[in-house]
């Protein structure tokens, strides 16, 4: 994905959204809401003390009454929850008449709980969740479009790729909180300079073969791990109109490249997360393609750094992983949407992003967060930030949900040498299309 490709996508998003401000969308009959910030002052039946309003619960809500404040659900734990709590506490201290309540909901139950709770009027006003369900929730009326409140100046605090990840069918549905993608980890005791091309990556193989190891290890039988090659060769899952575009010559070339990495001993076959971590920790993998979460798998004492992924030598295009973005979304049943957006705006501000980056080591989408001296001095955060320029936002439609399993099967067949890329990709496309078409 070239920078020109990214710019073209963003122009389409900007044109579709129009970045219409609240003033531009008002009719004469409407009473315009107070534009945030500051949020509108509205009377409440009760007031809570600033910090007393903050309750962080790590359990499902079952039969709980509706609070008069704004409720935000999240699935964070540990340092991520701590950083979010700090931002929420600041909001409550500054807005005691508009309390914010944080509610922790286990991730495994989050989507189902949310989908059933919001239509029944028992869900949150706001919630944080990855962008892959935005399409479903937008189509079913679960979430509220927010471009009414968002002008281009406000959106400009985020990277273009992060903004695009929150857009769907010409509307903006959330503000980005954190972004995740694959980058290149490398052992500094085995690699003096990180490879910037796939040819340079492959050139690490002879020395690593002597060590009974590999030049690169990654989850190569999973579409998420394979995506950098798919997009680096010019393949895709859907086209600009949302139609399936799985079985293409470019996608076949990417799958053949992945097969050849295994066949020539550059990469291990059928690698999954635990094997990848073991190889890296034991010095049997010079590099690893993985995301920020991989850091917790690196053993103490292993010397490592992170760099952006290499350019695909065959195409001249950067290897481009999926961009996963967590967004703050608004329920279509939010009690006070003006206040809810003001909270969204505050909790995704540069100040809040800096807190999350420092406390939780989140890769935040706020451009100016990286002007902070401590964050700028962190080479790992900087590498993942730089990788964002060459990512592909994950599609939000039903096709994306349905493609993972058949694509994994296809990768397994091709990497083992049992089938051809073209045949397997055609089978994947037909299977996904049959799911989309439904029963005949």
- DSSP letters along 280-303, please? HHTT-EEEEEE-GGGGGGSPTT--
Q: What is the pLDDT of residues 61-101, one digit of tens each?
A: 343 445 579 999 999 999 999 999 999 999 999 999 999 99
pTM reported for the whole predicted model = 0.80
Please state, for a pLDDT cut of 90, what percent of the chain lies above it. Answer: 77
Return the HEC string of 180-243.
ECCEEEEECCCCCCCCCEHHHHHCCHHHHHHCCCEEEECCCCCHHHHHHHHHHCCCCCECCCCC
Dihedral, CA of residue 326, residue 332, residue 333 and residue 335, to nearest 10: 80
Q: Is 425 helix (H, G, I), strand (E, B) or coil?
A: helix
| pLDDT range class, residue 153, cuts 50, 70, 90 | confident
11: left (phi over 0), alpha (psi -120 to 50) or beta: alpha
Enter the DSSP assignment of 121. T
> Is 53's pLDDT higher than 60?
no
Q: What is the pLDDT of residues 204-215, one digit of tens each?
A: 999 999 999 999
> Is 171's pLDDT higher than 80?
yes
Domain 183-320+397-437 is in which class? Answer: alpha beta
- Strand 57-58 to 100-104 pairing: parallel
Which residues are CB-contacts of 274 (< 8 A; sequence separation ≥ 6)? none
- Strand 174-180 to 167-168 pairing: unpaired
Report residue 404 CA to chain centroid gap.
Answer: 16
The percent of the chain in helix, strand and coil, each rounded to the nearest 5, is 45, 15, 40
> Is 34's pLDDT higher than 80?
no
| pLDDT range class, residue 240, cuts 50, 70, 90 | confident
C-alpha distance from residue 223 to each of 201, 229, 390 (Å): 20, 10, 17
User: Which of 123, 62, 57, 43 lies closest to 88, judged by CA?
Assistant: 57
Structural domain 3-180+323-393, CATH architecture: 3-Layer(aba) Sandwich (3.40)
**What's the token pair of residue 120?**
């029944």
Q: What is the mean pLDDT of residues 117-125?
A: 94
Ranges of CATH 3.40.190.10 domains, the chain: 3-180+323-393, 183-320+397-437
Q: What is the pLDDT of residues 265-289, one digit of tens each?
A: 999 998 988 999 999 999 999 999 9
Q: What is the mean pLDDT of residues 9-16?
A: 52
| pLDDT of the residue at 172 | 96
């Amino acid at each position: 994905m070239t920078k020109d490709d990214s710019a073209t996508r963003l122009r389409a998003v900007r044109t579709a959204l129009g970045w219409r401000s609240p003033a531009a969308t008002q009719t004469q009959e409407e009473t315009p809401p107070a534009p945030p910030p500051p949020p509108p002052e509205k009377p409440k039946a009760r007031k809570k003390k600033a910090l007393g309003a903050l309750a962080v619960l790590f359990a499902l809500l079952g039969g709980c009454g509706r609070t008069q404040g704004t409720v935000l659900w999240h699935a964070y734990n540990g340092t991520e929850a701590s950083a979010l709590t700090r931002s929420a506490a600041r909001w409550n201290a500054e807005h005691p008449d508009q309390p914010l309540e944080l509610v922790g909901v286990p991730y495994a139950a989050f989507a189902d709980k949310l989908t059933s709770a919001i239509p029944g009027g028992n869900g949150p006003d706001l919630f944080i969740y990855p962008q892959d369900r935005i399409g479903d929730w937008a189509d079913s009326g679960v979430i509220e479009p927010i471009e009414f409140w968002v002008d281009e100046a406000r959106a400009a605090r985020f990277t273009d790729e992060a903004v695009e990840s929150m857009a769907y069918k010409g509307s903006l549905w959330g503000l980005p909180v954190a972004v995740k993608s694959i980058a290149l980890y490398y052992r500094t005791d085995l690699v003096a300079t990180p490879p910037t091309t796939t040819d340079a990556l492959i050139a690490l193989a002879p020395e690593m073969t002597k060590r009974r190891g590999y030049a690169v290890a990654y989850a190569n039988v999973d579409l998420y791990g394979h995506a950098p090659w798919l997009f680096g060769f010019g393949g895709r899952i859907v086209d600009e109109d949302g139609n399936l575009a799985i079985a293409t010559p470019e996608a076949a070339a990417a799958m053949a490249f992945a097969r050849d990495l295994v066949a020539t001993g550059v990469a291990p076959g059928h690698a999954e997360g635990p094997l990848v971590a073991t190889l890296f920790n034991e010095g049997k993998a010079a590099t690893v393609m993985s995301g920020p979460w991989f850091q917790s798998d690196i053993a103490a004492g292993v010397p490592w750094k992170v760099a952006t992924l290499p350019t695909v030598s065959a195409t001249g295009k950067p290897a481009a992983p999926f961009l996963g973005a967590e967004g703050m979304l608004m329920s279509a049943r939010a009690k006070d949407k003006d206040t809810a957006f003001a909270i969204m705006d505050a909790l995704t501000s540069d100040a809040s992003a800096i807190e999350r980056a420092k406390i939780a080591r989140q890769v935040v989408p706020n451009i100016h967060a990286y002007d902070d001296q401590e964050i700028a001095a962190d080479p790992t955060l900087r590498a993942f930030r730089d990788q964002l320029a060459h990512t592909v936002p994950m599609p939000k439609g039903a096709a994306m949900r349905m493609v993972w399993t058949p694509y994994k099967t296809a990768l397994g067949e091709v990497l083992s040498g049992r089938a051809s890329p073209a045949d397997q990709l055609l089978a994947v496309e037909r299977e996904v299309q049959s799911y989309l078409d439904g029963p005949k």
